[in-house]
Amino acid sequence: MKNQTYRMTMLFDFYGELLTERQKEFFDLYYNEDLSLSEIAENSGISRQGVRDVIVRAEHVMQEVEDKTGLIRRFMAMSGNLQKIQDAAEGIRLINYRQYEDPAIDSYLGEITDAVAALKE
Amino acid sequence: MKNQTYRMTMLFDFYGELLTERQKEFFDLYYNEDLSLSEIAENSGISRQGVRDVIVRAEHVMQEVEDKTGLIRRFMAMSGNLQKIQDAAEGIRLINYRQYEDPAIDSYLGEITDAVAALKE
């Protein structure tokens, strides 16, 4: 399951609060804290298979919400457009650096870079 | 309830697919098609109160997901940063128009404007 950690982390970031406390805890320990199923089982006093079932169920709950709403997909599609903005701002910065040395243009470019950074957070 | 149409439309846009078919249908007729509770009741053969209950329940389901995930809040926070990008691009456009008339800068600004527009969709 851990070869899907990136997808799982995205699901948990978006939809983790929809899980039960136990689902949240096991999911977090397994994917974010990198504990093994056996370690979680030992600490929580249930079987390894029981831990696995909780985590798989948590994944299904979150994946179902994503399949229905597509919100992670929408967020991901945004990052391509942010890259385009950043590239264009960089193009203007180079022209300004080589030809005009206009501080007002640089200041505006700084605002664009800051806003893109805030959108990527 | 219709004085909250904007909020309801946002909820439905983000989380509508999490509703049952009946919840989706009544919610859509009431908020998007602007039918009255009585009209929906008449067309569907259940009581006005029954229609109301379905719509209120649908709202609660979606509001609960939003309260837990805050995804609409996150999307809304983005629009302030997109406005900053647009304003800065406009500032550069004016400087370029008045002083430099550089077509390469205009072309980059066009790319920024297009990317912002795509992000606002």
CA distance B21 to chain A (A): 13
Does the pLDDT value for residue B101 go beyond 90?
yes
Write out residues 28-87 of B within 8 Å (CB-CB) of A.
65, 68-69, 71, 78, 81-82, 84-85, 87
When pLDDT is averaged across residues A24-49 and rounded to a whole number, the result is 95
Between A8 and B3, residue with greater pLDDT: A8
Rounded Cα distance, A87 and B104, in Å = 13
pLDDT at residue number A80: 86
Query: Is A97 in CB contact (< 8 Å) with chain B?
Result: no
Both structure tokens of B7:
């909020």
Residues with Cβ within 8 Å of A48's Cβ and at least 6 positions away in sequence, in order, are A37, A38, A41
Rounded Cα distance, B111 and B53, in Å = 48
Q: Which H or E element spans position A65?
A: helix A48-69
Q: Which H or E element spans position B77?
A: helix B71-95
Mutate to test the interface with A, among B11, B18, B69, B95 (most CBs of A within 10 A): B69
* pTM attached to this predicted model: 0.77
Any idea which residue has 């009581």 for tokens? B47
pLDDT bucket at B77, cuts 50 / 70 / 90: confident
